[in-house]
Structure 1
Amino acid sequence: MAFAKAFVAKLLRDFSSRESARRVLDRAFETSLKVVKELLEEYSNPDLRGDHNETEAIQRLNLHKAMTNARHLLWLIERMIELRMADKAVKDWSDQASFTADLQRTFRDDAWRNIVPGLPALVLRCTLKLANAVTSGSILAARQVRMKLVKDWLPVLIVCKDKIPAMLPSHPSPYRELEETFLRIISTLPMLDAQELLQQCLSFSTRNVEDCPHLVSAFKTWFRRANRSPQAENLY
């Protein structure tokens, strides 16, 4: 797989037509995403009518396949961002209500822990890469896309909060990084949308307010914006 990835990366760098390269990447992204979605849908909605052991084996296989294909998806996302060809990917990723619902059902059940313990972090990294590209400006995402990206994926982030092992301060978890990135995106949304999403972000808080400066800052930003004139807010 490593040799194949290196070959594809070189091919894309040397491709004379950016539009052709974009089509290749978009198609590969759609295919990988479709596979992961189907596997997670099957896992989160199993057919329990057959033999229990057989069903359990199929469930384990589905998770392993989902993990493998999610790695491919992350690699594709990274290449697309490097080549500034991830516009369609972030739009597609932002419109995944059914997929994120399946992920929430999957992660609420701890069965995955002994099978694919790295799956939540991997999914969050895919989301984080795209969200960071949006906040950095390398992907120009419309207001609706930004809102949907947070709205669809924020519940997954919240469910994952207690599922990812704590890391050293020098190695921040994708969970905390994605919190900060989502809050930055929320600050670019219209007031009512930002208010709705910020309420859901209250789960980021801890007993010690000093542990969540990103959340405090986001609310301060919202209150400052609330004091602006309606005309100024229309610019968002």
Structure 2
Amino acid sequence: MLYGLIVAAIHNHSNMAFVKAFVAKLLREFSSGDSARRVLDRAFEASLKTVKRSLEEYSSPDFRGDHNETEAIQRLNLHTAMTNGRHLLWLIERMIELKVADKAVREWSEQSTFTADLQRAFRDDAWRNIVPGLPVVVLRCTCKLANAVASGSILAARPIVDWMLHILPYHILHINEVWYHGHPIGVPSTYRVQGRNP
């Protein structure tokens, strides 16, 4: 039932803000943290799979050309990626709020093929006119997870922290570099690691 409510929340178009707020409240007050973790993990995996599939199809040579049908498929793939990217962002926010984003951090850091498809997609100009906000949504997902790791609310292995440092460019996120558990990682300027100088 809880999974169904989450799916309804992220796919509800008529009154999305109200439904999402209601489901977020239910998740916060849900008695079983393990159950909440499982359903959020399941929803996260489903949305991520859809985003990955859409970008894979968009980047595929089979869907290239100037034909009207091909262009329509490409637009659909980009819109699908954008819509489900927003779903991912909302899910990540809920997972961080409940401190159950461990698996999401790990999954997000192991997406080399997804990253390659993103890079290929962004080398085209088409996305700028169709879904100009897609890079921002992807970066916000990454930033949310990275900041949660940096604040200590999510535990992550050293390779994941190093990966975050690699993909969070200073000039895009306007962040200050601080030290976290002996490793530099970008976090917002308002955050300071206890016992270390900024």
Say whether the 8 Å CA contact 1:42–1:62 is kept in structure 2: yes
Q: Does 1:29 align with 2:26?
A: no
**Corresponding residue number in structure 1 for 2:157:** 142
**Structure 2 counterpart of 1:97, from 112, 115, 122:** 112
Which string of whole-angstrom CA distances, capped at 9 and with x for unpartnered residues, describes residues 67-104 of structure 1?
11101100011111111111111111111111011111
Please report the RMSD computed on the Cα atoms of aligned residues, expressed in angstroms.
2.6
Deviation at 1:110, TM superposition (A): 1.3
**Structure 2 counterpart of 1:70, from 72, 79, 85:** 85
**Structure 2 counterpart of 1:47, from 59, 62, 67:** 62
Distance 2:52 2:173 in 1: 25
The one-letter amino acid of 2:22's match is F
Distance 1:116 1:51, change over 3 A: closer
Say how many residue pairs are matched: 171
Greater helix content: 1
**Structure 1 counterpart of 2:173, from 149, 171, 176:** 176
Runs (5+) with no aligned partner, structure 1 = 162-174, 199-213, 215-236
Q: Does 1:124 align with 2:121?
A: no
SS in 1 for 2:131: coil
Distance 1:109 1:185, change over 3 A: farther
Greater strand content: 2
Shift >4 Å, 4+ stretches: 48-51, 183-187
What TM-score do you get using the length of structure 2 for normalisation? 0.77
Distance 1:48 1:20, change over 3 A: closer
The one-letter amino acid of 1:176's match is L
Which string of whole-angstrom CA distances, capped at 9 and with x for unpartnered residues, describes residues 91-120 of structure 1?
111111110111111111111011001111
**Corresponding residue number in structure 1 for 2:96:** 81
Which string of whole-angstrom CA distances, capped at 9 and with x for unpartnered residues, describes residues 24-65 of structure 1?
111111111111011011111141488821111100011011
Runs (5+) with no aligned partner, structure 2 = 1-11, 190-198
* Bigger Rg over Cα: 1
Distance 1:90 1:49 in 2: 33
SS in 2 for 1:31: helix
Say whether the 8 Å CA contact 1:95–1:148 is kept in structure 2: no
